[in-house]
Amino acid sequence: MVKASILGATGYTGQELARMLLMHSQVELIGMGSNTYAGKKYSSVYPHFESALDLKCSNMQDDALFEKADVIFLALPHGLSVPYAEKALALGKKVVDLGADFRLKSADIYQKWYKTEAARPKLLGKAVYGLPELYRDEIKGTDLVANPGCYPTTAILGLAPLLKNGLIDKKSIVIDSKSGVSGAGRSLKVGSLYSEANEDFQAYGFPCHRHAPEIEQELGNLAGEEIAVTFVPHLVPMTRGMLSTIYASLVKETDTRRLEDLYREFYQDEVFVRVLPGGRQPHTKWVLGTNNCDLGVNVDERTGRVTVVSVIDNLVKGASGQAIQNMNIMCGYKEEQGLNRVALYP
Amino acid sequence: MVKASILGATGYTGQELARMLLMHSQVELIGMGSNTYAGKKYSSVYPHFESALDLKCSNMQDDALFEKADVIFLALPHGLSVPYAEKALALGKKVVDLGADFRLKSADIYQKWYKTEAARPKLLGKAVYGLPELYRDEIKGTDLVANPGCYPTTAILGLAPLLKNGLIDKKSIVIDSKSGVSGAGRSLKVGSLYSEANEDFQAYGFPCHRHAPEIEQELGNLAGEEIAVTFVPHLVPMTRGMLSTIYASLVKETDTRRLEDLYREFYQDEVFVRVLPGGRQPHTKWVLGTNNCDLGVNVDERTGRVTVVSVIDNLVKGASGQAIQNMNIMCGYKEEQGLNRVALYP
Amino acid sequence: MVKASILGATGYTGQELARMLLMHSQVELIGMGSNTYAGKKYSSVYPHFESALDLKCSNMQDDALFEKADVIFLALPHGLSVPYAEKALALGKKVVDLGADFRLKSADIYQKWYKTEAARPKLLGKAVYGLPELYRDEIKGTDLVANPGCYPTTAILGLAPLLKNGLIDKKSIVIDSKSGVSGAGRSLKVGSLYSEANEDFQAYGFPCHRHAPEIEQELGNLAGEEIAVTFVPHLVPMTRGMLSTIYASLVKETDTRRLEDLYREFYQDEVFVRVLPGGRQPHTKWVLGTNNCDLGVNVDERTGRVTVVSVIDNLVKGASGQAIQNMNIMCGYKEEQGLNRVALYP
Amino acid sequence: MVKASILGATGYTGQELARMLLMHSQVELIGMGSNTYAGKKYSSVYPHFESALDLKCSNMQDDALFEKADVIFLALPHGLSVPYAEKALALGKKVVDLGADFRLKSADIYQKWYKTEAARPKLLGKAVYGLPELYRDEIKGTDLVANPGCYPTTAILGLAPLLKNGLIDKKSIVIDSKSGVSGAGRSLKVGSLYSEANEDFQAYGFPCHRHAPEIEQELGNLAGEEIAVTFVPHLVPMTRGMLSTIYASLVKETDTRRLEDLYREFYQDEVFVRVLPGGRQPHTKWVLGTNNCDLGVNVDERTGRVTVVSVIDNLVKGASGQAIQNMNIMCGYKEEQGLNRVALYP
């Protein structure tokens, strides 16, 4: 049994963490850090927690958030995590950071894309990129996990079997991603209003979204050389869900059936990655509320290109669920403990 | 630990039952009855069950569905449940019927509204109306529960404190209900198409919806005399959720604060009924995926009317969740076992 | 041919006015007043006007907005219209105010509900309540029209035939209204975010919404005595559309067929009011983008109550379309000039 | 003034044609062909036409549909248009076919993809591919127009300036398209149900959608050589709207600004194609109900790829609006006659 605090508890990923940790039989949620709502009952900010969670929000400087917890989740905007992570680590606590501050190994690249100073090399060096399917052993041995971004999770899991097996032209990768609106968070922007986002579809983030360098870092690791991708995110009129359609040119001859087998084998021990049988293509709705990543793979023989469709719930495998998966690994629990396996449907 | 079968497993309430039973630590799901899909893997009908449920659909005549199970859930269109219930009861099994066939105590009223023959009086007499907040003790002692309809659940829980306390004019009740589209089920109708139901709002079921006699039977029991209500259901462009706005004329002077206290006291021991504090009015989204019924109560002093807003997830407290709550009571488990308490949000 | 200005041009009703005036063959749109966006191209605020409207926004103090126009539309938050209306009237211009400032004949009631000072009695006395179906002749003869609220439009058109014919108990009226989210406007509120409003349904405006006194004023006029109603608005997860379900107790015996005939006769000369044939009930989608008000009427013989369903597009017949209908009457054009008759469907 | 008939009048494109033709000042709609609903009032099939259109549906064999009309629109499933087109042409009428039967110049390719026999070469040779931006002069001189598919319209307009100017590697084209659900029509399929399509996003049409050969035919014409593309369509949870994100590798150095200028120049005389200024990227909502195609172009200098975002309303520029644009050209009317220029917003 571990005790957990959440800093940035009133954003969407923070409240999703709270919901899931309440369902986790090995976790007691003891602190909810929020400077905006400090002193208020959490269930007055999110009334759906009424009768289920009886904590007040605390100022994030509050020592109790750190001292009484075994695990501290940081669900903060980028650029804010470093001091909280340092404080927690100094106390010997485990930290899972859901933001971007420890994901990029290169301080220069971080500064270029995020326009703010990176963490010191020592801290950066300590952080493990928290994609369990690729870094499970490193996650076991660390106190600081950089939880991956939602877009990178779909892209990396979708491309890993191809890159590891040298099947594609590394210059040919195009990642066309689509996200539900909850990915934009709870901040007030005209574009996030119901009447604006409803019944609308758009591409955004031109010329390049901040998740591009994170994707490239990890694809580069898989390929053993630098990789540049074209990555275009889009906004879908739905609350949750993310789907990436990934295109690449094949350098070896293959077909859909063989590639499906390759993917199944690659992920055979992974409880959260599914390659759907019978040529079925994944739907975002089939993973709603779950920590699953569903994959579909197709060869377009006319053009020699492979298409991979990679699907997650952006707030679960793309954020809070993966954070709990990481915590489970760090704490020695079963990896699927407390994580839903069947989507809320329809 | 009990074993459970579902007959009518491929409708929306059937699959929601399956999802929840998989999360229930005291239940093993052993049979999925579906004549349409007999012989097919359940996860080929609903691919989101892939890797979580490895059962095939069976013909509903299949004896194993009955013999190997301790509890049998019937999630069938009205008019079909009687023979299955009889077969299960004869084998000494417990039955929860999610359809309408055992809800109405009067065979005449059943036949008038459903245009099909009612069950024999002996069977009807055995059935307990499965609203635990009103009939908990009777549910404990029976093998046949008639799980309430979704609209009646909102209406009865919303009006019970007023009727029990004789606070309203019994001729003045108007129930204006709104349901998400999943209430219409998975059958193919033009009106259920996305392009038709999306961005649309309508009233339906004129002059009278079949849930009216069920509501009137139970309100009559609460009031100790016959009651006729005006009940108008509406279709909301959302998948899940149900909200009823209930109007009645007060016969005693009171105010919002006193009524709120009355409701809190009335439901103080109920784990699934919440009267939100601070004058907050319920939202359907705050109960999504949960077995909660949220209530808001207001006195309009200008007109002497009380307004009650009553909210559930139509597929959970309005169907499958309530069925499991009933099973928990029948089997001696904790009433909230396996039932979510915090909504999937946003 | 008339020239028109819009003050408050960048709200949703302002932009809907602009769209419709561009389609109106007898109107030239010459001024777009917006203090927030003064100096900016209108098509930079709303890019869908690109290549269709080449005006810049002007400060609302700009004299040209008044002097060069024949008709001035005020699409402002309540409490702001009076000085602009006075300025325009002093110049001999026609004014249609889409806000609340001239709707209530009683300055006391206005101040009580809107917490701001009412217009001087002289100006209030000049204003005609712009519901053409009831006040066509007065609208013809005035320079100042108070365009009705969206909820009142549905309620008054729905109840007028019953009240005029003395068919209902005036104390028994309950109005349960449902509105699309665009009714909340473009201002930034958490509750208007896509992720909050989507897949949600709620009642709001307790204990009483500001449209209640407006409804009561007009129903009182129709009935010839004071009327108090219970009015509860709800928010529907769709962008446009409004439906009111109205309940009242009948004081004379009648049936659905006879009431339908009565409604058809009452509105037989009205181009924008439809009583659907064959017992069909109105859908909001059937009026999308049109200036129609669709009505359905039903008698519940079991309870002696009548149910009226009244449907509009909240931004058209509930705001900008009705404003143009009023302008057409004031300027001597055909009443339906420039107003769509067939919904955008599906 | 011309008289028009619609065959297949009760599908979504048929009813959208009807709506638009009613707004067209130079057209009288005289016949609605529908075998399913023959003899029924059109407004009983689509009640939103009540009081606006007083025609009954006719059997499509009915000679009056052909003889009394000047223009005949065919809005039929593929494989059915040939005999109706022949009959109309024999009578000297003009025909716009909204289906696929005359789009592909190669009978072999048609048969391979559509699994049904193609029209005779003589008829095929007569048909002009009705994309006015490319084939305006040919459309003027023909009696038989093959109205383009919705996906091809976005792809061809998006790529034409690049291909005509030899700027891209012709083997590098990837077209990732997203369509609203109305594209699936009004037929009854589980996947088109509200509860299935709502809050879902999926890719479909693997390995290759039927619009691929149509796209390739036209891109080949533009490039002067055969072209094969990777084309993946997706389903968006919204009713109307289509967006294609198109990727290609540049073979000449350029930048976003220069490409934008090139696009503006290429389409400078086109009333329905907009390249949004100031780097704005198109939204589907900005073209709702209009015949516009909005384009955004971006160079990703890191990868040497160009991204084009191309947006239409799938039922207007993607079907019925373009059909009317073609009719306007064939009949000598102004090209934008009867076609909306400003989107219904929000």
* Residue B119 confidence (pLDDT): 87
* Residue B341 confidence (pLDDT): 85
* pLDDT tens-digit map of B167-196: 999 999 999 999 999 999 999 999 999 999
Domain positions in chain C: 2-126, 150-314
Lowest mean pLDDT, pick from A13-17, A59-63, D123-127, D167-171: D123-127
From the list A201, A229, A298, the residue facing D243 with the nearest CB is A201
Any chains having at least 3 CB pairs less than 8 A from chain C are: A, B, D
The Cα–Cα gap between A179 and A150 comes to 9
Interface of C with B in 163-202 (CB under 8 A): 171, 174, 176, 178, 180, 195-196, 198-202
Distance between C202 CA and the closest CA of chain D, angstroms: 19
Any chains having at least 3 CB pairs less than 8 A from chain B are: A, C, D
* Residue D94 confidence (pLDDT): 98
A16 inside 8 A of chain B by CB: yes
- Best residue in A112, A178, A209, A230 to probe D by mutation, most D CBs within 10 Å? A230
Chain A residues lying within 8 Å of B285, measured CB to CB:
48
C192/A189 touch (CB, cutoff 8 Å), yes or no: no
* C182 to chain A: closest CA residue: A195
- Per-residue pLDDT at A289 exceeds 90: yes
Give the three-class secondary structure for C282: coil
Q: Cα separations (Å) of A202 from A154, A196, B6, B204, D178?
A: 19, 11, 43, 35, 10
- Across-strand partners of A274? A294
From the list B12, B197, B239, the residue facing D199 with the nearest CB is B239
Measured from the Cβ of residue B268, the count of other Cβ atoms closer than 10 Å reads 9
* B51 to chain A: closest CA residue: A274
The Cα–Cα gap between A60 and B247 comes to 45
Measured from the Cβ of residue A28, the count of other Cβ atoms closer than 10 Å reads 14
| Residue type present at position B74 | L
B241 inside 8 A of chain C by CB: yes
Q: Helices then strands (H, E): number in chain B?
A: 12, 14
B342/A48 touch (CB, cutoff 8 Å), yes or no: yes
Identify the band that residue A36 occupies on the pLDDT scale cut at 50, 70 and 90: very high
* Residue A208 confidence (pLDDT): 80
The answer to whether A195 and D288 have CB atoms below 8 angstroms apart is no
A193/C188 touch (CB, cutoff 8 Å), yes or no: yes
Burial of B122 (0-12, 13-18, 19+ CB in 10 A): exposed
* Residue C187 confidence (pLDDT): 95
pLDDT: which is higher, A276 or B74: B74
pLDDT: which is higher, C238 or C208: C238
Any chains having at least 3 CB pairs less than 8 A from chain A are: B, C, D
A237 inside 8 A of chain C by CB: yes
- Per-residue pLDDT at C340 exceeds 90: no
| Residue type present at position D2 | V
With 0.90 as the threshold, say if the pTM is over it.
Answer: yes
Give the three-class secondary structure for A248: strand
* pLDDT tens-digit map of C306-337: 999 999 999 999 999 999 999 999 999 999 99
Chain D residues lying within 8 Å of A200, measured CB to CB:
238, 241, 283-285
Distance between C149 CA and the closest CA of chain A, angstroms: 19
DSSP B39: T
Q: Smallest Cα–Cα separation from A235: which of B122, D282, B237, C313?
A: D282
Distance between D316 CA and the closest CA of chain A, angstroms: 16
Q: What mean pLDDT, rounded, does chain C reach? A: 96
Q: Cα separations (Å) of D10 from A151, C281, D156, D186?
A: 41, 20, 29, 9
What phi, psi does D99 have (nearest 5°)?
Answer: -90, -165
A192/C193 touch (CB, cutoff 8 Å), yes or no: yes
Chain D residues lying within 8 Å of A247, measured CB to CB:
174, 176, 230, 247
Tell me the CB-side half-sphere exposure of residue D15, using CA atoms within 13 A.
22
C276 inside 8 A of chain B by CB: no
* pLDDT tens-digit map of B106-116: 999 999 999 98
Any chains having at least 3 CB pairs less than 8 A from chain D are: A, B, C
B240/C199 touch (CB, cutoff 8 Å), yes or no: yes
The Cα–Cα gap between A218 and A214 comes to 6
The Cα–Cα gap between A150 and A183 comes to 9
Per CATH, the number for B2-126 is: 3.40.50.720
* Residue B208 confidence (pLDDT): 81
- Across-strand partners of D33? D7, D58
What phi, psi does B243 have (nearest 5°)?
Answer: -135, 130
The Cα–Cα gap between C210 and C208 comes to 7
C288 inside 8 A of chain B by CB: yes
- Per-residue pLDDT at C34 exceeds 90: yes
C10 inside 8 A of chain D by CB: no
* Residue C217 confidence (pLDDT): 98
Q: Helices then strands (H, E): number in chain D?
A: 12, 14
Which distant-in-sequence residues (6+ apart) come within 8 Å of D80 by Cβ? D99, D101
Interface of B with C in 63-102 (CB under 8 A): none
The answer to whether A329 and A132 have CB atoms below 8 angstroms apart is yes
B22/A277 touch (CB, cutoff 8 Å), yes or no: no
Q: List per-residue pLDDT tens for chain D, 346 residues long.
A: 999 999 999 999 999 999 999 999 999 999 999 999 999 999 999 999 999 999 999 999 999 999 999 999 999 999 999 999 999 999 999 999 999 999 999 999 999 999 888 888 889 999 999 999 999 999 999 999 999 999 999 999 999 999 999 999 999 999 999 999 999 999 999 999 999 999 999 999 987 888 999 999 999 999 999 999 999 999 999 999 999 999 999 999 999 999 999 999 999 999 999 998 877 899 999 999 999 999 999 999 999 999 999 999 999 999 999 999 999 999 999 999 999 889 999 9
Chain A residues lying within 8 Å of D195, measured CB to CB:
346
C195/B346 touch (CB, cutoff 8 Å), yes or no: yes
Query: Any idea which architecture D150-314 has in CATH?
Result: 2-Layer Sandwich (3.30)
Identify the band that residue C206 occupies on the pLDDT scale cut at 50, 70 and 90: confident
* pLDDT tens-digit map of B200-232: 999 999 878 889 999 999 999 999 999 999 999
* pLDDT tens-digit map of C88-123: 999 999 999 999 999 999 999 999 999 988 888 889
* Residue A119 confidence (pLDDT): 87
C259 inside 8 A of chain B by CB: no
* Residue B207 confidence (pLDDT): 78
Identify the band that residue A120 occupies on the pLDDT scale cut at 50, 70 and 90: confident
Identify the band that residue C38 occupies on the pLDDT scale cut at 50, 70 and 90: very high
* pLDDT tens-digit map of B274-298: 998 877 899 999 999 999 999 999 9
* Residue A343 confidence (pLDDT): 97
Give the three-class secondary structure for B151: helix
Q: Smallest Cα–Cα separation from A321: which of B344, B54, B285?
A: B344
Measured from the Cβ of residue A265, the count of other Cβ atoms closer than 10 Å reads 11
- Joined together, the tokens standing for residue B216 give 């009137």
* pLDDT tens-digit map of B233-290: 999 999 999 999 999 999 999 999 999 999 999 999 999 999 988 778 999 999 999 9
Same fold, A2-126 and A150-314: no
Q: Which of D150, D208, D293, D331 is catalytic?
A: D150
Q: Tokens 């041009």: give the residue.
A: C9
Chain A residues lying within 8 Å of D281, measured CB to CB:
202-204, 206
- Per-residue pLDDT at B121 exceeds 90: no
From the list D193, D199, D237, the residue facing B193 with the nearest CB is D193
* Residue D59 confidence (pLDDT): 98
B193/D196 touch (CB, cutoff 8 Å), yes or no: no
* Residue B41 confidence (pLDDT): 98
